[in-house]
Amino acid sequence: MTRRIGVVILSMLVLAGCGKRDDGTETNDSGNPASVRSESAGEVVGAAAAAVPTKLGDAAYPLAGLTWVKGDPVTIAPGKVYVVEFWATWCPPCRDSIPHLTELQAKYGDRVVFVGVSNEDVATVKPFVANLGDQMAYTVAVDTAGKVGNGYMTAFGQRGIPTAFIVDAEGRVVWLGHPMGDLETVLDRVLAGTYTIPG
């Protein structure tokens, strides 16, 4: 009986995403994807000159000020669909999502640009990504300043990773959630022009 309870608790933690790190970095506490930084919403607005989205349907925050560790720099532009996913090397559910995101990048090809964004330092992320090679076959960037994390994670009140955001061909954030959740289903509908933004 005790073993069964332990398995149930472990399963819940894996499904929920990452918790709190030893360094105090906040991560998910409810199964919802989570905060890369801990700045308040007030600090987010002052963090950059770019407009910070506040709801689905708002213009996506630019992918500026990032250090690109795999692939070419990405600029969100009309006509292309993007998946911006926040993750960390220390987060087991994030690592579990990497093969799925790689499969989706292969499936959608140049119709969707996948970008993984970590707030860790380059010295941690770069060798991790290099070691994975083709197993992590999408663009990866580091957000040491935290501005992009603030423009997505904090702006949308997300406190757990991994969290993915879909930016449609009009440059709007239209969906957010766990990359192992409805991401593929929603992408199919976004690309087909049949997706309706909730709310």
What's the pLDDT score for residue 144? 94
What's the pLDDT score for residue 162? 98
Pairwise CA distance, residues 12 & 171, whole Å: 34
Q: Under a CB-based contact definition with an 8 Å cutoff, are residues 169 and 41 in contact?
A: no
Residue 197 lies in a domain: no
Q: Under a CB-based contact definition with an 8 Å cutoff, are residues 112 and 184 in contact?
A: no
CATH of the domain at 142: 3.40.30.10
> What pTM, to 2 d.p., does this model score?
0.79
What's the pLDDT score for residue 23? 39
Pairwise CA distance, residues 184 & 188, whole Å: 6
Q: Tally Cβ neighbours within 10 Å of residue 137.
A: 17
CA angle 13, 129, 168 (to 5 degrees): 75
Residue 198 lies in a domain: no
What's the pLDDT score for residue 22? 35
Quote the domain boundaries for residue 73: 2-192
Residue 43 lies in a domain: yes
Place of tokens 């991401």: 183
Q: List phi, psi (to 5°) of 100.
A: -65, -45
Task: Retrieve residue 74's tokens.
Answer: 């990405």
Pairwise CA distance, residues 154 & 53, whole Å: 10
The β-bridge partners of 165 are 84, 176
In 3-state terms the chain splits into helix, strand, coil percentages (rounded to 5) of 40, 20, 45
Residue 124 lies in a domain: yes
- Cα separations in angstroms, 149 against 11, 30, 79, 85, 156: 27, 19, 23, 10, 10
Residue 199 lies in a domain: no
Consecutive sets of 10 residues in the chain, 199 residues long: mean pLDDT of each?
40 46 38 34 43 93 97 96 98 98 98 98 98 97 96 96 98 97 97 94
What's the pLDDT score for residue 54? 86
Residue 185 lies in a domain: yes
Distance of CA 72 to the CA centre of its chain: 18
Pairwise CA distance, residues 81 & 78, whole Å: 8
Q: How many domains does the structure of the chain reveal?
A: 1
Pairwise CA distance, residues 65 & 75, whole Å: 11
